[in-house]
Amino acid sequence: MAGSTLGTVFSVSTWGESHGKGVGVVIDGCPAGLPLTEQDIQIYLNRRKPGQSRFTTPRKEDDTVEILSGVFEGRTTGTPISLMVRNTSQRSKDYSEIASYYRPGHADYTYDCKYGFRDYTGGGRSSGRETIGRVAAGAVAAKILQEMGITITAYTKSIGPVEIDYNRFDLSQMEQNAVNMPDPLAAELAMAHLDVCHAKEDSCGGIVECIIKGVPAGVGEPCFDKLSANLAKAVFSIGAVKGFELGDGFDVAKMHGSANNDPFGMEDGHVKKLSNHSGGTLGGISDGSDILFRAAFKPTPSISREQHTVNKSGEEITVSVKGRHDPIIAPRAVVVVECMAALTVLDLMMVGMTSRLDRMKEFWAKPMMPEK
Amino acid sequence: MAGSTLGTVFSVSTWGESHGKGVGVVIDGCPAGLPLTEQDIQIYLNRRKPGQSRFTTPRKEDDTVEILSGVFEGRTTGTPISLMVRNTSQRSKDYSEIASYYRPGHADYTYDCKYGFRDYTGGGRSSGRETIGRVAAGAVAAKILQEMGITITAYTKSIGPVEIDYNRFDLSQMEQNAVNMPDPLAAELAMAHLDVCHAKEDSCGGIVECIIKGVPAGVGEPCFDKLSANLAKAVFSIGAVKGFELGDGFDVAKMHGSANNDPFGMEDGHVKKLSNHSGGTLGGISDGSDILFRAAFKPTPSISREQHTVNKSGEEITVSVKGRHDPIIAPRAVVVVECMAALTVLDLMMVGMTSRLDRMKEFWAKPMMPEK
Amino acid sequence: MAGSTLGTVFSVSTWGESHGKGVGVVIDGCPAGLPLTEQDIQIYLNRRKPGQSRFTTPRKEDDTVEILSGVFEGRTTGTPISLMVRNTSQRSKDYSEIASYYRPGHADYTYDCKYGFRDYTGGGRSSGRETIGRVAAGAVAAKILQEMGITITAYTKSIGPVEIDYNRFDLSQMEQNAVNMPDPLAAELAMAHLDVCHAKEDSCGGIVECIIKGVPAGVGEPCFDKLSANLAKAVFSIGAVKGFELGDGFDVAKMHGSANNDPFGMEDGHVKKLSNHSGGTLGGISDGSDILFRAAFKPTPSISREQHTVNKSGEEITVSVKGRHDPIIAPRAVVVVECMAALTVLDLMMVGMTSRLDRMKEFWAKPMMPEK
Amino acid sequence: MAGSTLGTVFSVSTWGESHGKGVGVVIDGCPAGLPLTEQDIQIYLNRRKPGQSRFTTPRKEDDTVEILSGVFEGRTTGTPISLMVRNTSQRSKDYSEIASYYRPGHADYTYDCKYGFRDYTGGGRSSGRETIGRVAAGAVAAKILQEMGITITAYTKSIGPVEIDYNRFDLSQMEQNAVNMPDPLAAELAMAHLDVCHAKEDSCGGIVECIIKGVPAGVGEPCFDKLSANLAKAVFSIGAVKGFELGDGFDVAKMHGSANNDPFGMEDGHVKKLSNHSGGTLGGISDGSDILFRAAFKPTPSISREQHTVNKSGEEITVSVKGRHDPIIAPRAVVVVECMAALTVLDLMMVGMTSRLDRMKEFWAKPMMPEK
C-alpha cells in the first residue's frame, strides 16, 4: 500500500497539490446507507479554510467540495466515494525564486532528493492544502461515528507560552475566537502573542488537544494496529507535528505506578476506570474511557525574517520568504486532528467487528438481504 | 492486514504469548543474500533478556532463537524467515487468582472486552515477551541497515526524576550499568531511585532516546507513510509507551520559527542542515541528518502495593500483584525501540527504491541474473 | 485494503458509476519523472469508447480524461495521480423499471444483498464504465513498461464459434476491424455471426488473448503474489470473465510432462527456454519468455429477448432488457485486459527491486539526489 | 504486503522449505472463541501427506502439526495462531547434481534469477511442501466456515484423458481410491493410465473441481477483491495450476446470452437462481448458489525420462531427474484447493461484515463485552 493511502477497511487515498487543479480523496470501504450531502463535508472544510482571520493566510479559496461518486439518492452506496475540491486561486504568484532554493523548515530539499525534482508552486504536495482530502474523508468518518454516539473534539491547548486554563475551559467559546481556544482569556493572550510574532516577522508553535467520547471498550488491534499506535501515526502524518502523547503522555516518565495506574470500579453494574491517566486505552485497546491525546505543532516555517540557506547551484544565500504567512499552524490544524482521529477510530471499529467468532456467527446468521 | 503484521515490503508477523509454547516472528520480504546466523539475532535477544540485574524480573529464560526457514548455507534466500524462541519457564506460577480480576494498568479488561476472554497466564499476548518477535526481526533489519552504513542506538535518557547529563554523555558506559544509561553518574542516581521505588512496593517511568545515523536523504512516503509517522506508530505500538517526539518534540510548541527552522549550508559540496531541530526529517522524509526521537514509558503497572479494582463477578476488591516485578520498563525497552526503528527505516528504504523512474530504469536495465 | 484498490506499491483506487458525475482513479505510488500528458491516456480510453461500430452500444461519450494531480511541468512528481472522466450522457434514460427487478446475468441482485440497495442507473458501479479508471491507470503503467522495453498486446481470439487462424495472424489487421481480431477473415466471419446474434435478440461470448513481451526473468513474488496468480486475479476482476489460463492452460490437463516441460537451451550466451508451454512463468516468476494468457468472456447479459426473473416484490415476471446492447463484450475488453496486465507486471517489477540485498546495496550506495 | 502473506483480515503468512527445519504458517486475524485442537488440523494435513499410495512420492513424513500460539484452554484467543510442522526426512538425498543445472518445468532458473541463488534441496520454497502451511491455515478457516454452515468439497475431475462421469458421481467414493475421484470406474481407468505414464517414465496432468455450499449471497468486494477474482488468485497461487474457471468457464465463450444468463425465480419466499451457469457469483459477489470452479494442473515436471537443459556453466546437457516421483499432481492438490477456497471465502466474509451501516450500527449497539 503506497504512502498516500491509509486504513485497512475504511481506506482513504488523498491526492492533489497546492497549485494544481485541485485536491481530493477517494474513500474505499465506506459502509452503504449513510445519508451524505456535500454540506456534511463542507462544514468541516469551512473550519480549515484560510482567510478567516488576521492569523491565517489571506489566500481566498472557496474550497467547495463536490461528491463525484459513491452516493446515490442521498445515501452512500458502499462503493468508493470520490471527493474533489477545485483549486481556484492557484496562479496568483511567481514561484521562480522559491524554485531556485531550499526554504528552511520546508520539505523542498527532501522532495528534491526523493523524487529528483519537485512541484515548487506553493509547496506542491507538501502544502497544507493536502489536508483537504483528509478533512473531507474525516468528515464522512466523523458522521458515521456520530451515528454510533461517538464524538471527537479538538482544540488549541497552547500557543507559544500561552496555555488554556482548565478552570475556564468552555468548549462553546472555541469557535468565538480566531485561535480555537476553549478559554476566552487565553485566546486573548495568545492573539496578543501572535501579533508580536508577526511584528517580529516570526512565527510560533502550539499544542492541539483532542478528546474522543463514546468509544466502546474493545477497539484496537494489537500488537501493531493498537488504537494508540494508529492514532500516533495518523496524527504524526500531519505536517508540522513533532510530538504526540496519549493520556498523561510524557509526564508518565516521572510518575510512580501507584499514581499512574487507573483503578477499576463499578458504576451502574458496569466496569469503569476511576481515573484516566492512560488516556482511554489499555494494551492499545480502548477501555471505555474518554480517549485523550495531544499533538505538538512546530512554528510555521515560512517567515519573512531573513534566513540562511543554499540554492540549487550550491551557493549559500540569505532569503526571506515573501508573502503574508500564518504565524501559527496549530489552530487551523484542529479540524485536521479531529479528522485523523475519526479515520483511525472508524477503521479500527470496522476491523474490530471480526474479533470474535460468536459475534461473527450472530452477524451472518442473519444474512445480508436487500432492503424492503 | 491484520494487527500483528507490520510493514509494506519488509513485513513482519509476530506471534506468541507469555506462557504458551513460545514466541516468534515470520519475516516476509527480507532480501536474499544476507549472511545470517542465529548468533546475529541472539545478541539482540540477550539484550532484552530478563534476570540480568536486580531491576529486572528474576524469571530465567534462555530465550534461545531458532531459525526455522529462509536461510540456506548461511545466507537469507529471499523467502520467509521464521524465527522461534521456545518458552521454558512458563509453568512456574498459579494464575487462577489473576484470572479472576482486572489488574489496574494492564490489558486484562480490554482483552476480555475485545475477545470475550483472555489468556491470563503471565499477560498472554499483552506480555512484554511479545516483544521477542519484534527484537528477532529487528535484529535482521538492523544487520541489513548496518551493511548500508546505518546504525541505530537507543539508551535510557531518564528514570523518574533522574536524567542523563549530555556533558557526561558516553555511549560506551551504557552497557556497564543495569539501566542502560550513557552517563555513569545518572545511572548511579537512577539505581538508587529504583531501590527506593522497590522499597515502597512501587515502580517508576522513564524515557528512552534513540539516534539513527547514516540514513540518506529521501526516505519516507508522504503523506501517510512518512518516516516520522511510521516511526511514531512503530514505537507507540510498544506496550507502555505514552509519548513520542521527534527532534525538539514538544518543545517546538514554545519555539519561534526563526529558532526552530534548521538553516541549510554546504559542506564538502553537499547540502547539509546546520542544526537539527527537526530530528532528521522534513516533510516526513529523511533529510540526511541524524534521526533523533524519544519515547516515554509508563511505570511498570505490576506493583506489590495494594490497589483498588474489580473482579469478574463485578465486586470491588483490593489486590496486590504478587511476585518480584521490574520496577522500571524503560531500560529493557531500549533494544525494542532500536528494533522498531530498524524495521521502520528498512521498510521505507525498500519501498523508496521505487520512487523515481530514472533509478528504476537503471535498476532493470541490468536485469536480475543468477550469481556466478 | 478495501476492494476497489489494487497493488502493493503501484496502487490504484478506482471510483465512479455509470450514471454518476464521472469515473476515475487515483494512482498512488507512480514513480517520479515519467513524461505524461492527457493524450497518453486518451489513446487508451479511445480504444474502449462505446459507439465506435455497429457492435457497440450507441451511447455517445467523449470520455475525455483530465489529469487532476501528480503531474508538474509535464512529468509525474511521484505523488498521487488523480485522473477523471466526466460522464456526459448519463441522463438519457428512465431506469425506474429496471430498478424494480433483477436482470438475469447482472449484479443487480447481489449488490442489493450486499449493500441493501443499489444505484440502478446503468448498472451503477457494476457497469462496464467502471473499467475507465482501470484503463486510465493502465495507460500510465503501460507507458512506464514501454520505457523499459516491455509491450503488452491483447486481441480477440474468438467470438462464439469463430476463432482466429494463427496462419493468418497479423496484428496490424486488428485495428482495421470492429472486433479487434488479428485475422481479417475471422473478423468477417465473426461480424456475420454477431449480426445473427443481434437478429435473434441475443448475444455471444468470446476469448481475449494477451501477449507480454520483454519482461525480464525474475518478476513475481511467491508464494501468493506470483506473477501468474496476480495476473489471474487482475484479469478475473474484470466483469464477465469466467475463465483464465496461462500458456497451455487447460490443455495441460491432458498433456504428459515430457511434452509440457520446456527444455532450456543457450542463445547468445543466455539461458533461453526452447519452447513456451508454461506461458512465461516458472514457479510464478517470469522466466524471460513471452507471457501469454487468455480470458473467457461471457456473452453480454443484457439481451432484448424475453427472460424470466423476479421483481423486488417477489413476483416472478418476464422481462426484456430494452435498448441497443453490444452483442459481445470481448472486443471492447481487449484494452482493459492489456491494462490489467500492465498494472500487474509493473507493480511486481517495483516490488521486485527489493528482492536482493546486493542490488539494494548497489541502489542506495548511490543515494537519491536532486536532479541537476 | 510481501508475497507470502495473503488476506486482508484473516491474514496468513506461510514459511518453510522442503528440506529446511520445517514448514508452517502464522494466522493473524483469526476470530476468538473457536474450539481448536491439533487434531482438527492434522486431519487436513493427513489428506495431503505423501507416501499414501503407489502414485505419490514414497517420502515418509509424519507431518505432525504443533499449535505454538493463539489457542488457550482449547479455544482461539483472537491473537496470532502459529502452526508448525517439522521436517523429518530431509537429509535423505544428495542434491549436488541438481544444484548444478536447471530442471525443466521447475522454478530452479527463475529463483536463481530473482534471488541470485536458490535452496536447491528438494525444491526449497518452490516445493509442494510449501502447501503444508496453506493447508494448516485452511483447516482453521474451513472449521470456522463449517460452524456457519459452509462446506467446501474438491475432487479430481480428470486425469489425462480420463474424466469422471457425473451420472456415476458419488462423493463417498472419493476417499476410497488413490486419485480422489468421486467415480469408481473413472478412478480405475485413471490409475491404469498413471501406470502407463510411470512405465514410460512420464507424468500427466489433471483437473480439480471444487464446490462450495452454503455461502450466503453478498460476499465479495468489487471491483478488485471480487469473490471470483480472489478465488482465481488463491487457486492460481498453487504451484502447477495453469487454468482456472468459474461456473461454465471457458464454455461461455461459445454460448449465447440467452443460454448463459441464469433466470431468477422464487423458492419458499426467497430469490433463487433457476440455473447456475455463473458458478455462484454475479458481479463478483456470491449470489447464494453453489460456488463451482475448476483448476487445471500441469503434469509433474520431475520425470525420469531424459530431458534437455543447461547447467550453471552455460552448457547444454541431458538430464534425467532421479528418484520416484508422483506421476500426477492433481489428486494430492485436492485438499490444497479446498483450503485456498476456505481462506478466500472466510476473509471476504469477515471484510463483508463492514459493508452496511445498518448492520454495523446494530453490531456496535451491543458492545463487545467479557464473556460471563
Q: Is D320 annotated as a binding residue?
A: no
- Where is D109: in which H helix or E strand? helix D108-115
Tell me if D372 is assigned to some domain.
Answer: no
Tell me if D319 is assigned to some domain.
Answer: yes
Which pLDDT score, from 0 to 100, does residue A96 have? 84
Q: Is C7 annotated as a binding residue?
A: no
At C219, which CATH number? Answer: 3.60.150.10
Instruction: Return the half-sphere exposure (C-beta side, CA atoms, 13 A cut-off) of residue A251.
Output: 10
**Subunit contact B13:D26, Cβ cutoff 8 A:** yes
Query: How many structural domains are present in chain B?
Result: 1
Return mean pLDDT, chain A.
94
pLDDT in tens, A168-202: 999 999 988 999 999 999 999 999 999 999 999 99
pLDDT in tens, D102-147: 999 999 999 999 999 999 998 899 999 999 999 999 999 999 999 9
Residue appearing with cell numbers 486573548 = A188
CA distance A69 to A79: 8
Most C CBs within 10 Å, among B364, B369, B371, B372, to test the C interface: B364
Find out whether D333 and D208 touch, Cβ atoms under 8 Å.
yes
Tell me if A3 is assigned to some domain.
Answer: no
Q: Is the pLDDT of residue B92 over 60?
A: no
Which pLDDT score, from 0 to 100, does residue D220 have? 98
Tell me if B265 is assigned to some domain.
Answer: yes
Which pLDDT score, from 0 to 100, does residue A60 have? 67
pLDDT in tens, D305-327: 999 999 999 999 999 887 777 89
Task: Give the pLDDT band of residue C290 (cuts 50, 70, 90).
Answer: very high
Given CA atoms C99, C326, D283, C68 in this order, what sign does their dihedral have? negative
CA distance B205 to A69: 50
Find out whether A130 and A23 touch, Cβ atoms under 8 Å.
yes
Mean pLDDT of the region B351-370: 96
Which of A58, A65, A56 is closest to A87 using CA atoms?
A65
pLDDT in tens, A25-79: 999 999 999 999 999 999 999 998 866 677 666 666 789 999 999 999 999 999 9
Give chain A's end-to-end CA distance (angstroms, integer). Answer: 38
Three-class DSSP category at C96: helix
Three-class DSSP category at C151: strand
Tell me if B372 is assigned to some domain.
Answer: no
CA distance D17 to D127: 7
**Subunit contact C16:A125, Cβ cutoff 8 A:** no
Return mean pLDDT, chain C.
94
Residue appearing with cell numbers 479500527 = A348
Q: Is C54 annotated as a binding residue?
A: yes
- Where is C192: in which H helix or E strand? helix C184-199
What are the start-end ranges of the H helices in C287-356? 330-352
Instruction: Return the half-sphere exposure (C-beta side, CA atoms, 13 A cut-off) of residue A344.
Output: 30
Tell me if C280 is assigned to some domain.
Answer: yes
How near does any CA of chain B get to the CA of C225, in Å?
A: 12
At residue D157, φ and ψ (nearest 5 deg) are -90, -35
D311 C-beta neighbours (distance < 10 Å), count: 16
Mean pLDDT of the region D177-181: 95
Residue D96 DSSP symbol: H
Most A CBs within 10 Å, among C15, C113, C114, to test the A interface: C15
Tell me if A370 is assigned to some domain.
Answer: no
Find out whether D14 and D137 touch, Cβ atoms under 8 Å.
yes
**Subunit contact D68:B115, Cβ cutoff 8 A:** no
Which pLDDT score, from 0 to 100, does residue C60 have? 67
Q: Order of strands across the sheet with A241-246?
A: A162-163, A151-159, A206-213, A291-297, A241-246, B241-246, B291-297, B206-213, B151-159, B162-163
Tell whether A156 is within 8 A of chain B (Cβ).
Answer: no
CA closest to B227 among chain A residues:
A237
Largest CA distance in chain B: 71
Task: Give the pLDDT band of residue D370 (cuts 50, 70, 90).
Answer: very high
Which pLDDT score, from 0 to 100, does residue B95 have? 84
Which pLDDT score, from 0 to 100, does residue A30 have? 98
The ipTM is: 0.97
Return mean pLDDT, chain D.
94
**Subunit contact A79:D222, Cβ cutoff 8 A:** yes
Task: Give the pLDDT band of residue A322 (cuts 50, 70, 90).
Answer: confident
CA distance C21 to B281: 40
**Subunit contact C2:A11, Cβ cutoff 8 A:** yes
Tell whether C255 is within 8 A of chain D (Cβ).
Answer: yes
Pairing of strands A81-86, D151-159: unpaired
Q: Is A298 annotated as a binding residue?
A: yes
CA distance B57 to C366: 46
Which pLDDT score, from 0 to 100, does residue C277 have? 98
| Burial zone of B12 (CB within 10 Å; 0-12 exposed, 13-18 middle, 19+ buried) | buried
Angular region, A191: left φ>0, alpha ψ -120 to 50, beta rest = alpha
**Subunit contact A79:C125, Cβ cutoff 8 A:** yes
Largest CA distance in chain D: 71
What's chain A's Rg over C-alpha atoms? 22
Tell me if C358 is assigned to some domain.
Answer: yes
Find out whether A29 and A350 touch, Cβ atoms under 8 Å.
yes
Give chain D's end-to-end CA distance (angstroms, integer). Answer: 38
CA closest to B288 among chain A residues:
A110
Helix axes A357-365, D131-147, angle to 10 degrees: 60
pLDDT in tens, C123-178: 899 999 999 999 999 999 999 999 999 999 999 999 999 999 999 999 999 988 99
pLDDT in tens, C87-116: 987 655 778 888 999 999 999 999 999 999
CA distance A129 to A57: 12
Range of the domain at B95: 5-365
Instruction: Enumerate residues 274 to 333 of chain C having a beta carbon within 8 A of any beta carbon in chain A.
Output: 312
